Amino acid sequence: MKSKIRIFLMMVTMAICSQVFAQRPSFNKNKDILIACFDIKPDPDDIHAVAALGSMLAHPDLSGVNYFAVAGAYGSQGGSYLQSNSLFNMAFGNNWTDAHSNRSAAIAAITSKVVPILQNGGKVWVQEGGQSDVTADWLMPVINASNGINSNTTKNNVILVQHDDGFNEGQANQSKLNNVKANTRYFLLDDGNAGWNDGWGDHGPWSTPMYRNRSNSFVDQAKNSPNSVAKALWTEADRIFNNYFPNGFPHDWSFFFTDGVDYSDCVENWWIFEIGSNA
C-alpha cells in the first residue's frame, strides 16, 4: 500500500512540474526583444555580467537576437554608481541607453523599442539585473497611452525575469515593483549566486547554475581568450574594475575579494535563451 501511495505522489509531482514548465514562453528571434537592465550600483558584478552577455550575444547560437541594454537601472540603494560606458559601447554598440545620466531620455529610448514589438505581437523579455524601477517607469505609461497596448497585452507579452528576491526586490520602489508584478509575466528564478544544491538560493521551480567563482583564473583566461570579442570585453571589464578598486575589492562577503568572477545576473540570459547544457 505504501509503495502505491509513493508512486501516486511521484506521478502527481511529475504532473505538476510538467504543467509548471509548460507554462514558460520561448524567445522568438523573429518577433521578440531582450531588454537587458543592469544597476551597476554598488556591486561590481554587473561589470562582469555585461562582459558575459556581450560574449554570449557574439556567439553564432544567438545571432539575430534583437536586444537593447540599460545602464543605471537601479532603485533606492546607496553606494557609488560604477560608470562602465566604454564596456557598454563594446558589448552593445548603439543598442543601449544610460538611465543613470538621463533617466527620462532612457525611458523614451526603451519605449521606442518595446512599443513596436508589442504592437506586432512580439514579446519583450526584461532581464532585471537590478531593480524594477526603470521597467515600471516605461511600462505604466505604455499601458496608459493610446497605442493599442493595454494591461492584458503586457501581462501576456512582457516577460520579466528576476533571479534575486532579496536585495533587488528589497531595494526597489515597492509601489513600482507591485505594478510590474501585476502587469507582466514575472518569473523569479533561483539565485545565480547559489549552486544547484544550495537551498538558500531556491525561489521556485526554475533552477539556475551558479555563475560566480572565487578563483582568479577565470578572468585571466578570458583576457587571453582566442575569441577576440570575449578577450576585448573581459579585458575592458577588468580594467574598469581595477580602476575602481586598485587595491582589490575590500569586502570579504564578495567573490571579488579573492579576484574571482561574478556574472550571476546572466543566469537570466541562460534561462531566457534556454541555453541549458550548451553553456
Assigned domain for 51 exists: yes
Assigned domain for 5 exists: no
For 113, the domain range is 31-274
- For the chain, how long is the longest CA-to-CA vector? 66
- In contact, 32 and 71? CB cutoff 8 Å: no
Assigned domain for 266 exists: yes
CA angle 128-29-262, nearest 5°? 35
What are the φ/ψ torsions at residue 213 (nearest 5 degrees)? -160, 140
What are the residue ranges in the chain where pLDDT is below 50?
2, 4-20
Domain count, the chain: 1
Assigned domain for 19 exists: no
Q: What is the pLDDT of residue 4?
A: 46
Q: What is the pLDDT of residue 1?
A: 52
Assigned domain for 262 exists: yes
CATH number, domain with residue 264: 3.90.245
DSSP class of residue 58 equals T
Assigned domain for 117 exists: yes
205-217 residues labelled b (16+ CB within 10 A) or e (exposed):
ebebbbbbeeeee
Q: What is the pLDDT of residue 14?
A: 40
Rounded distance between C-alpha atoms, residue 70 and residue 152, angstroms: 25
Rounded distance between C-alpha atoms, residue 120 and residue 118, angstroms: 5
Q: What is the pLDDT of residue 57?
A: 98
Assigned domain for 169 exists: yes
pLDDT tens, residue by residue, 232-274: 999 999 999 999 999 999 999 999 999 999 999 999 999 999 9
Q: What is the pLDDT of residue 81?
A: 98
Q: What is the pLDDT of residue 109?
A: 98
